[in-house]
Structure 1
Amino acid sequence: MTAHSHRSPAAAGDAQRRYDVAVVGGGAAGLGGALALTRARRSVLVIDSGAPRNAPADGVHVYPGHEGTPPAQLLATARAEVTGYGGEITTGTVVAAGRRGPGGFRLVLDGGAVVEAARLLVTTGLVDELPPVPGLAERWGRDVLHCPYCHGWEVRDTPIGVLATGPLAVHQALLWRQWSEDVTLFRHTAPEFGDEEYEKLAARGVSVVDGEVTGLEVTGDRLTGVRLAGGRTVPRRALATATRLTARADFLDGLGLKPAEQEVGGQVIGTAIPADPTGATAVPGVWAAGNVTSPTEQVVGSAAAGVRAGAAINADLIAEETGRAVAARRAAGAPPAAADTGAGTGAGEF
């Protein structure tokens, strides 16, 4: 079934729009899945809140063919590709999701619009919950950073700070050391490190500063230092920090699908919707892809996960449609189909 309409979802009380697949979330994962599905001639609606996680970043990195592309430009191009194949995109936030009979789902958007779909692909991503240090949020994605593979090159060879938030802090500092010889680990409120950890840091020339971080020093529009509780300021050009990665998935409560805590190296890093390698969740008919199910995935991986999920959803729909066709054929009294040898049909000819 090909989607050519670009109407908005029906408002409450109007005739409800029905789709093969509703994609909740319009980032790289959602648009990757939508592209695979629209090219498979499925009717697809992408519901996007318009608040991408990477909006503050100057560019998308480690994405072959798109290195340094501004996030908004990458999304605009992908949106045009999806609508070019007949997909629909609407701005909105899904506030509730439930079953529609035995074979579909009903979504309610903020504002009251209602959407029905045979399958759901959830690609709503996550929210970065920053440590409660004044000034971090204002500099987030600019010179307060989280991923060295995303931002390390841009701050290479500059004084970099790492704000400790848990057991992974030493690993994080050693990782950032690859991009600069001047790395300082601020222990902040983290527990005391062990002797082996201090030895590793010393061996790599990473200095450790005790004391709680209370704010940032900014000159003009640029980070220049990290301020400690005692009043001391340590000059830094960038500050790396881990965030709590919380899945945007509250609307799935009505389907009994809840995020699970994610742990790395003994530290809970956030929550995610459990899913298998194809993106299938514990709820039949619901797939998930991107950061909502894989919190540490980068943009290129999220796009690939969306495509995999889209292909899996299409295969699932084909299996269901084939089952209905077989049942209808049998109900019509058609005899069992004999094997076709291809004789006289031109089979095998070019």
Structure 2
Amino acid sequence: MDVAVIGGSVAGLQAALTLGRARRQVVVFDDGRARNRAASHVHNFLGAEQPAPDELLAVGRRQLATYDVAVRDGRVDDVEVVDDGFVAGGEHVRAVVLATGLRDELPDVPGVADRWGQSVVACPHCHGWEVRDQPLVQLGMRGAPERSVARAVLLSRWSDDVTLCTDGDELTAAQRDQLDRAGVAVRTERVEEVRAGSVALTGADLPARRVFVVVRQHQQSDLAERLGCQVTDGAVVTDEGGRTTMPGIYAVGTTASPALLAIGAAGHASTAAVAVHADLLELDLSSRR
């Protein structure tokens, strides 16, 4: 077996597709915990007409059936480094692609987790168009007012009716000026609950067609660190070809670049897969000398 891809969401499946088309033997391990699985639709993905996340991944799996790619359900928590490669999920492989992705830490506000992926979302580029020109609330993450302000300013491009709820955080004069220039209203009261169609503040109820939240992102798996890969600011460090600091180990999608949209994660994975194939080809040819 040539390559083990650990993680079977958009980035992992795209890496496997590119490698399969390069006539590589690939095994994909997927634990079914795609980061966007709570969302009703995948938006802003060229060629895909707003499928549900599981529908998009099902199409991807069907595409892989043409090639020498096996998809196995299950989580891989350990990879053994051996003399001539790696052992992952019981398979001996020459290279490992980490596509384990991220998990989102949501604001600790009642109603947020229950509505996550539906009326509570994070990314305006993914979900803003569908609620353009409607009342929107940007809910900040307590203790991170600079990020909350930046996201509210970004959201103001989709609607003239945006309110930033800081959930108790106070803002500087410069931050308030920035929000005022963007036309964003500010409420600093504590948020009691996110409800269907509104946000309950202390002593007030704020209409909201959609609530956008600031999240903290964490790697879903510590596998990269345990393999000795460098991880900085929550991202696995790679070069432009997805190569980590450990030979034979690659990282793709949001595992390496947390800010990527779904389509960007796929593109990143495809580029890295090309590098994986090139590196394996070089090894193949050097062994024939």
Bucket of the pairwise TM-score, normalised by the shorter protein: over 0.9
Instruction: Confirm whether residue 233 of structure 1 aligns to residue 233 of structure 2.
Output: no
How far did 1:107 drift?
2.1
Given that 1:59 and 1:67 are in contact with CA atoms closer than 8 Å, whether structure 2 keeps it comes out as: no
- The residue that corresponds to 1:180 in the other structure is 159
Query: Partner of 2:18: helix, strand, or coil?
Result: helix
Alpha-carbon distance in 2 for matches of 1:127, 1:289: 15
Alpha-carbon distance in 2 for matches of 1:76, 1:179: 31
How far did 1:96 drift?
0.9
Aligned pairs (5 A) from 1:197-216: 197-216=175-194
Alpha-carbon distance in 2 for matches of 1:76, 1:52: 12
Aligned pairs (5 A) from 1:293-332: 293-326=256-289
After TM superposition, the structure 1 stretch with the greater mean CA deviation from structure 2, 36-45 or 196-205, is: 196-205
Aligned pairs (5 A) from 1:1-350: 19-101=1-83, 103-108=84-89, 114-165=90-141, 166=144, 167-190=146-169, 192-217=170-195, 223-228=196-201, 230-257=202-229, 259-261=231-233, 271-326=234-289
Amino acid at match of 1:318: L
Alpha-carbon distance in 2 for matches of 1:178, 1:253: 38
Amino acid at match of 1:227: A
Given that 1:164 and 1:189 are in contact with CA atoms closer than 8 Å, whether structure 2 keeps it comes out as: no
Alpha-carbon distance in 1 for matches of 2:181, 2:246: 49
- Report the TM-score, using the length of structure 1 for normalisation: 0.79
Alpha-carbon distance in 2 for matches of 1:187, 1:286: 41
Given that 1:289 and 1:305 are in contact with CA atoms closer than 8 Å, whether structure 2 keeps it comes out as: yes
How far did 1:252 drift?
3.2
Query: Partner of 2:134: helix, strand, or coil?
Result: coil
Query: Partner of 2:93: helix, strand, or coil?
Result: strand
Q: CA RMSD in A?
A: 1.4
Alpha-carbon distance in 2 for matches of 1:258, 1:249: 14
Query: Partner of 1:66: helix, strand, or coil?
Result: coil
Alpha-carbon distance in 2 for matches of 1:211, 1:123: 39
Amino acid at match of 1:106: V
Query: Partner of 1:309: helix, strand, or coil?
Result: helix
When residues 97 and 252 of structure 1 are mapped into structure 2, their CA distance, relative to the original with a 3 A threshold, is farther
Which is higher, the Rg of structure 1 or of structure 2? 1
Alpha-carbon distance in 2 for matches of 1:163, 1:175: 13
C-alpha distance after superposition, 1:217-256 (max 9, x if no partner): 2xxxxx221122x342222221111111111231334422
Equivalent pairs: percent with the same residue? 37
How far did 1:157 drift?
1.9
Given that 2:224 and 2:236 are in contact with CA atoms closer than 8 Å, whether structure 1 keeps it comes out as: no
Query: Partner of 1:80: helix, strand, or coil?
Result: helix
C-alpha distance after superposition, 1:168-201 (max 9, x if no partner): 21121111111111111111143x3222321232
